[in-house]
């Protein structure tokens, strides 16, 4: 690794842990921290190694996308799951963790093209920084490198990875059909986020369990945990779009509202409103171009319904469901990290 | 297969053969035609089988993209190569041929997004027919299904397939850096098309040779043949953008000029012009929005230089180079088809 590549030092993993798992997490997990730091550093190195291209522009674009790819929560969950299942070295899952991180990043890059996003994690989004053509192509490149990494594994794992990607894009298409439309309802919403967010985390953790030669029950438990955690994460995301701190999030608020995504908060608020206010909410929500006043009005109407508290409770219920899925996995500091990750997904501020 | 899926009947393969290989090809290849018809039909069935999704919209979009994906020249070359190397059944390469066809189609879909293409093979392009979000996502879906198909093969073949995809997207990025710029020159041009068109055909045919347990020399010969044929095809494409029949092509002329792609014809013309006309050519070529009069002026200036004849000769030279690569392969009707395919790539009218 050269200096130009982002690395995961002990400091930054501590920051990740306290931000996503609570301030006391580094202290509580002090015994296992060095192992996870090494895991994440090695996964990052593997990831950056495969991004090298003979074309500096493409390497630069791909690495830029990965350096704004978020909190590395997926590789952390994969490493912790592998160790919670008894692995003393996570080397066998490094390529797979890098592959899933690349798939996640590729989907974010194409999302940002589709959603006209300007910012991602405090930096210009890929299409903003490199232009639409390079953003589309760099997303493809990340998918391609992910599949090359997956080629290290048995066919069943490659196919599981592929199916999760298919779920991911199905979720995108399904989401696109419901834009600016509040009548699609909760069932549709959960179908979208199960595919967009749940399936890929489920596939990642189930694959780790398979590589650890876990029993079928444990593989299923890991899949259920990943799916529920992914859903908790996404439900929380909906709230942060309205009530988060834009500096912490690294992007402006209200992007879901602007793009007409019927989030769970919007659906809950709409379901609770009656009469003229319901009509007003629906009408403003459907506007293709919303003024700042429109966005604030939607938020005010949402506040009046109490929807945010109910949605926060729903995120927590998904986190608890994730945690119950871990029953077949024996207690360990790594299992504790998984438990805290699920609660963190539902409580996080960024 | 249901009726809604396009099939490759003997009639349509005859049409493909006479259009791409010359009118007498079906008669000359009558003995082998039934085998190739069956091969292409089975490859098509495999392809459509994997496109099924639980979401009708995505299946529809993916199948639409494949039904406008072109002349199926890649699966035809793969089947003919497999048989030229002695295979009596092409079953072992069906999944791979479907995978390469999907990769090709995915790249066309994302190309059409990047190039703002309105038409593809006589029908509205994917972004035009389904909107930009679905076009981006459906392209991703085609890549994903391609890699699932590739998972049927040994790691070395999956990696060869992945490297070809990486070349493909590198070619895209490289092309994007030279838009509206005639000073990038021939070397840059050939670097782009080797990657965008040559690498994927080379990888497809080399993989077929590997599956046929061919010697290393024959694998290399197939790769060289595929690469040179792909380049001949692309050089011919540049000419057709200026001098083709839009009805046969199924799209309007001058799209390369409009998008500022420095094609070989444009580079040759620019290289031959002098003084005021050179300056005029460069200035009009660099216009982001060209009027019909601008496009015609570029064509008139091009005609004056004799560049089209020189570029046609260059396409033929690449075809002959492809044919010479076939030396290690013993004569057979299938080898004859490969020879004629190379000439057809350089001479084709659509």
B125 touches chain A (CB under 8 A): no
Is residue B300 within 8 Å of residue B280, measured between CB atoms? no
* Tokens at A262, concatenated: 């019927």
Q: What is the pLDDT of residues A212-249, one digit of tens each?
A: 999 999 999 999 999 999 999 999 999 999 988 888 77
CB spacing of B172 vs A57 below 8 angstroms? no
Q: What is the pLDDT of residues A262-292, one digit of tens each?
A: 999 999 999 999 999 999 999 999 999 999 9
List, in sequence order, every residue forming a beta bridge with A123; answer none if it has no partner: A120
Domains and CATH numbers, chain B: 10-347 (1.10.600.10)
* Tokens at A304, concatenated: 């009046």
Is residue B85 within 8 Å of residue B346, measured between CB atoms? no
* Tokens at A130, concatenated: 């490199």
Is residue A304 within 8 Å of residue A274, measured between CB atoms? no
Mean pLDDT of A123-135: 91
Q: What is the pLDDT of residues A187-211, one digit of tens each?
A: 999 999 999 999 999 999 999 999 9
A129 touches chain B (CB under 8 A): no
Lowest mean pLDDT among A188-202, A313-327, B57-71: B57-71
Provide the pLDDT for residue A7. Answer: 44
pLDDT band at residue A3 under the 50/70/90 scheme: very low
CB spacing of A177 vs B140 below 8 angstroms? no
CB spacing of A114 vs B106 below 8 angstroms? no
Is residue A116 within 8 Å of residue A123, measured between CB atoms? no
Provide the pLDDT for residue B67. Answer: 84
Taking CA B103 as the corner, what is the angle to CA B98 and CA B105, rounded to the nearest 5 degrees? 90
Q: How many CB pairs under 8 A join A and B?
A: 129
Provide the pLDDT for residue A347. Answer: 86
Q: What is the pLDDT of residues B275-286, one digit of tens each?
A: 999 999 999 999
pLDDT at B268 over 90: yes
pLDDT band at residue B70 under the 50/70/90 scheme: low
The model carries a pTM of 0.90
Radius of gyration (C-alpha) of chain A in whole angstroms: 20
Round to whole Å and give the CA distance between B247 and B73. Answer: 20
Is residue A101 within 8 Å of residue A231, measured between CB atoms? no
* Tokens at A223, concatenated: 């899949």
Round to whole Å and give the CA distance between B143 and B155. Answer: 17
- CA-based nearest residue to A105, from A45, A151, A62: A62
pLDDT at B162 over 80: yes
Lowest mean pLDDT among A50-64, A142-156, B122-136, B176-190: A50-64
pLDDT band at residue A37 under the 50/70/90 scheme: confident
Provide the pLDDT for residue B68. Answer: 57
The gap from C-alpha A76 to its chain's centroid, in whole angstroms, comes to 12
3-state secondary structure (DSSP) of residue B8: coil
CB count within 10 Å of CB B184 equals 17
Round to whole Å and give the CA distance between A48 and A72. Answer: 14
User: What angle separates helix B185-193 from helix B264-272, to the nearest 10 degrees?
Assistant: 170
Provide the pLDDT for residue A249. Answer: 78
Provide the pLDDT for residue A210. Answer: 97
Q: What do you get for the CA distance between the two ends of chain B, in Å?
A: 28
Which of A:146-205 have CB within 8 Å of B? 147-148, 150-152, 155, 158-159, 162-163, 165-166, 169-170, 172-174, 176-177
Provide the pLDDT for residue A70. Answer: 62
* Tokens at A24, concatenated: 């006391």
The most confident of A9-13, A59-63, A204-208, by mean pLDDT: A204-208
Sequence-distant (6+) residues with CB within 8 A of B176 are A131, A133, A134, A137, B114
Round to whole Å and give the CA distance between B126 and A307. Answer: 39
pLDDT band at residue B115 under the 50/70/90 scheme: confident
CB spacing of A133 vs B114 below 8 angstroms? yes
Query: Chain-wide mean pLDDT for chain B?
Result: 90
- CA-based nearest residue to A250, from A258, A260, A240, A259: A240
User: Which residue is it, tokens 């099924």?
Assistant: B52
Best of B109, B135, B143 to mutate (most A CBs within 10 Å, chain A): B143
User: Which residue is it, tokens 């704004």?
Assistant: A68
Query: Chain-wide mean pLDDT for chain A?
Result: 90
Provide the pLDDT for residue A143. Answer: 94
Residue B304 vs residues A244, B181, B268, B276, B315: alpha-carbon distances, Å: 63, 21, 11, 14, 20
Sequence-distant (6+) residues with CB within 8 A of A232 are A315, A316, A318, A319, A322, A342, A345, A346
Provide the pLDDT for residue B72. Answer: 83
Radius of gyration (C-alpha) of chain B in whole angstroms: 20
Taking CA B114 as the corner, what is the angle to CA B110 and CA B119, rounded to the nearest 5 degrees? 80
3-state secondary structure (DSSP) of residue A241: helix
């Amino acid at each position: 690794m050269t200096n130009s590549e982002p690395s995961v030092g002990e400091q930054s993993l501590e920051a990740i842990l306290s931000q996503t798992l609570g301030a006391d997490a580094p202290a509580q997990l002090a015994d296992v921290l060095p192992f996870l730091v090494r895991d994440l550093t090695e996964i990052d190195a593997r990831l950056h190694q495969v991004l090298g291209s003979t074309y500096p522009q493409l390497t630069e674009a791909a690495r830029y996308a990965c350096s704004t790819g978020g909190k590395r929560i997926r590789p952390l969950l994969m490493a912790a799951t592998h160790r919670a299942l008894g692995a003393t070295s996570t080397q066998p899952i490094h390529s797979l963790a890098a592959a899933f991180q690349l798939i996640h990043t590729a989907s974010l890059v194409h999302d940002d093209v589709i959603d006209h996003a300007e910012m991602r994690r405090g930096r210009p989004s890929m299409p903003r920084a490199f232009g639409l053509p390079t953003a589309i192509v760099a997303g493809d490149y990340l998918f391609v490198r992910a599949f090359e990494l997956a080629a290290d594994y048995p066919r069943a794992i490659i196919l599981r990875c592929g199916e999760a990607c298919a779920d991911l894009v199905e979720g995108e298409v399904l989401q696109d059909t419901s834009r600016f439309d509040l009548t699609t309802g909760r069932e549709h919403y959960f179908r979208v986020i199960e595919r967009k967010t749940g399936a890929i985390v489920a596939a990642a953790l189930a694959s780790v369990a398979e590589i650890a030669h876990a029993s079928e029950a444990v593989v299923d438990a890991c899949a259920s945990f990943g799916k529920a955690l992914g859903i908790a994460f996404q439900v929380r995301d909906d709230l942060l779009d309205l009530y988060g701190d834009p500096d912490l999030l690294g992007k402006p608020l209200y992007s879901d509202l602007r793009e007409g995504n019927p989030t769970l908060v919007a659906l809950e608020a709409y379901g609770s409103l009656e009469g003229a206010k319901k009509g007003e909410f629906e009408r403003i929500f459907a506007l293709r171009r919303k003024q700042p006043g429109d966005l604030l009005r939607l938020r005010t109407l949402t506040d009046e319904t109490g929807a945010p508290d109910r949605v926060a409770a729903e995120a927590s219920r998904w986190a608890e469901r994730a945690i119950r899925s871990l029953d077949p996995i024996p207690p360990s500091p790594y299992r504790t990290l998984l438990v805290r990750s699920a609660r963190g997904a539902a409580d996080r501020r960024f």
